[in-house]
Each structure stands twice: as C-alpha cells, then as structure tokens.
Amino acid sequence: MAIQSFNSNLTILLYFPFRSGSCFHIDPNCTHAWNAPIIGRKRWIFYPPGVTPPGVFPSADGDDVCMPISIGEWFLTYFDEHVKRRTDPDITRRPLECTAEPGDVLFVPHGWWHMVLNIGNDEDLSSSDDRGVSIALTRNYVSASNLPDVLRFLDTRVSQISGCRDRKKAVPPEDLGREFRKGLLAVPIAEEESSTGDVEEEKKCVDTPLSKERRKWADLLDRAETQSKNGWGCKAWVDLPSEGVDNSTNCGGNERSSILAKAKQQQNSTTESIPATGGFSFSFL
C-alpha cells in the first residue's frame, strides 16, 4: 500500500557523470525510496539502521553529520574498514552491496545508510561517447510499513523536515504533519457516490466501496498513530536527548573532535570497538 509522497508525486530524473554518486546518507523524513537506472549501472552500499558506516560521524540528534567530503576520499580512507565489516560476527550489522543496472528497480528502506557510485556500463568506457553517463528515476514515498515513524518524525523533528523549505507554495514544515494526515484521509469521491445532502440516503450507502475505502485508510492511520506514540520502529532514530544538551559543535561523540581526529581514532580501532551511533543526513541524490 503506497501513500502519496512528500514531493507532490514528483518522480525525479537524475543525470550523473561516470564515477559520480552520493555520499552516505539516510533518506529524509523517514521515507522509503526506489531508484530505477535507465542508462548506466550504479554500485550501492547499505548499512543497517543503527549501524554507522566507517568514516561517518553523526551528532546525537542526527542534525549534523561529519564525513569525508567526496566519495573518492571515503573509498581511499575507509574501504579497508568497510571490507572488514562484511565479516562482522553479528550478521545483522554487516553491510549489503549490489549493482543495479537498466531494468532493475532498487528499493531503499527507510533508516538505512546508503551511498551510490555510478560505474557506467560493462563495455570499454574509453571507446564510448557517453563515458559512462548515468540516468535514473527515483522517488521517495511513504507506505504502511513506515507510516508510524513518518508521523513521529513530522511531530517531533520539525526542524529537520526536508523537501518543503525551498518552495514558496510548499506546506510549511510545522504544518506538514497535519496536512499529511488530512491528505491521507481525503479519498476522492466518485461522481455517482457524491453526497446528495439526504441523510437517509447516505445511511443506506454506509457499506459502499467508497465508505469501506475511507474506513480502511482511517483504520490504517489510527494504528499508525498508536505505534507512533509508542516510540520509533526503526533503530536509525532515537529519542532526542534532554533539553539543554548542545550538539551543535559535536559530530558523533561526547567530546569535541575534528573529523580528522575521529578518522584516526577509527583507523586505530578494531571493528568491534567502533560505536554504532545513530543519526542521519538529508541529501538524497
């Protein structure tokens, strides 16, 4: 059961040159996503919710993330550590990898850290005019499986809501939760089943397909609201620390430290000793 996306049903067409891509991130607003390559192949690396990739240092509230500035820097600095993580004794913490090509549709579940490297086609790129250009379709969306976390996010992380701050006609972040709930229950009324104003006639239609559809969505929302109030369903998100804790100068730890110092600390540690901090970023190319 798919629910309307946050971007007005906009499916995004992405163009990328060879060896471009996106650094590690978690998609915004607790959304799922799908990605369908049209031209070129994409190499994906995923880390499970609550397991931070090597070289990625989120703040405790997830508002800031420190990491290498480029994909190439991450591969040069942290790929060996990533390879070690593939054999983590706890299989639930191991990263996943795959290559998607034209004809595939990749599902990106909410809460998973992921990065993408565009690797072109199988043929010799030196003889190809496009030099491995990548074109893909992608979309972020909400389904019944992540609806409770989406509602909790819209209610408790207003400052981190993404996708509506750069458009004048967009719903303001502080109103998005309310408007999203209204949209979820706004089942289109068929012409032959529109209200006649006759109460008795409407009572007779209580079991029409339209009324059943409305009840189905209302029941789904009620269940999601209950789950949302009971806490996060995904390990990528945790309850925010108590008021007064300042994370603005602290990326991924309890002490002030630069990304370089954190990188050295991680390189000198074993896989088991690296803490799996939570958090996420909002870029989603």
* Distance in angstroms (rounded) separating the CA atoms of residues 14 and 38: 10
Q: For residue range 71-118, list pLDDT tens digits in order.
A: 888 999 999 999 999 999 999 999 999 999 999 999 999 999 999 998
- 110: tokens are 């909410």
Cα-Cα-Cα-Cα dihedral of 110, 175, 65, 53, to 10°?
A: -10
Q: Taking 90 as the threshold, does the pLDDT of residue 18 lie above it?
A: no
What value does the mean pLDDT take over residues 258-265? 50
pLDDT value at residue 14: 54
- Cα atoms in the 13 Å half-sphere on the side-chain side of 237: 28
Mean pLDDT for all residues in the chain: 76
Question: Which H, E and C letters describe the chain, residue by residue?
Answer: CEECCCCCCCCEEEEECCCCEEEEECCHHHCEEEEEEEECEEEEEEECCCCCCCCCEECCCCCCEECCCCHHHHHHHHHHHHHHHCCCCCHHHCCEEEEECCCCCEEECCCCEEEEEEEECCCCHHHCCCCCCEEEEEEEEEECCCHHHHHHHHHHCHHHCCCCCCCCCCCCHHHHHHHHHHHHHCCCCCHHHCCCCCHHHHHHCCCCHHHHHHHHHHHHHHHHHHHHHCCCCCCCCCCCCCCCCCCCCCCCCCCCCCHHHHHHHHHCCCHHHCCCCCCCCCCCC
Residue predicted with more confidence, 212 or 139: 139
Confidence of residue 62 (pLDDT cuts 50, 70, 90): confident
Confidence of residue 201 (pLDDT cuts 50, 70, 90): low
Average pLDDT for 173-200: 71
- Is residue 57 scored above 80 in pLDDT? yes
Task: Give the integer Cα–Cα distance in Å for 151 and 185.
Answer: 14
The answer to whether the beta carbons of residues 95 and 74 sit under 8 Å apart is no
Which one of 5-9, 57-61, 155-159 scores highest in mean pLDDT? Answer: 155-159
Which among 255, 30, 132 has a CA at the least distance from the CA of 277?
Answer: 255
Q: Quick one: CA dihedral 195, 200, 202, 208, positive or negative?
A: negative
What is the pTM (predicted TM-score) of this model? 0.72
Mean pLDDT of 130-145: 83
> For 2-165+236-273, CATH number?
2.60.120.10
Count CB neighbours of 132 within 10 A.
Answer: 19
Domain locations in the chain? 2-165+236-273
Question: What does the pLDDT read at residue 32?
Answer: 96
Task: Give the model's confidence band at 251: pLDDT under 50 very low, under 70 low, under 90 confident, else very high.
Answer: very low
pLDDT score of 272 more than 50? no
Q: Which is more confident, 17 or 221?
A: 221
User: Where does the pLDDT of residue 190 fall: very low under 50, low under 70, confident under 90, or very high at 90 and above?
Assistant: very low
pLDDT confidence tier of residue 249, bands split at 50, 70 and 90: very low
- Polymer length of the chain: 285
Q: How confident is the model at residue 176 (pLDDT cuts 50, 70, 90)?
A: very high
Question: How confident is residue 4, by pLDDT bands cut at 50, 70 and 90?
Answer: very low
6 band by pLDDT with thresholds 50, 70 and 90: very low
User: Could you give phi then psi for residue 65, rounded to 5 degrees?
Assistant: -135, 125
Alpha-carbon distances of 16 from 13, 19, 20, 38, 128, rounded to whole Å: 10, 8, 6, 12, 16
Q: So what's the pLDDT on residue 99?
A: 94
Amino acid 256: pLDDT: 42
- Residue 51's pLDDT is 94
* Average pLDDT of span 133-157: 92
In the block, tokens 């990188």 appear at: 263
Q: 132 and 120 in contact (C-beta within 8 Å)?
A: yes
User: Does the pLDDT at position 243 exceed 60?
Assistant: no
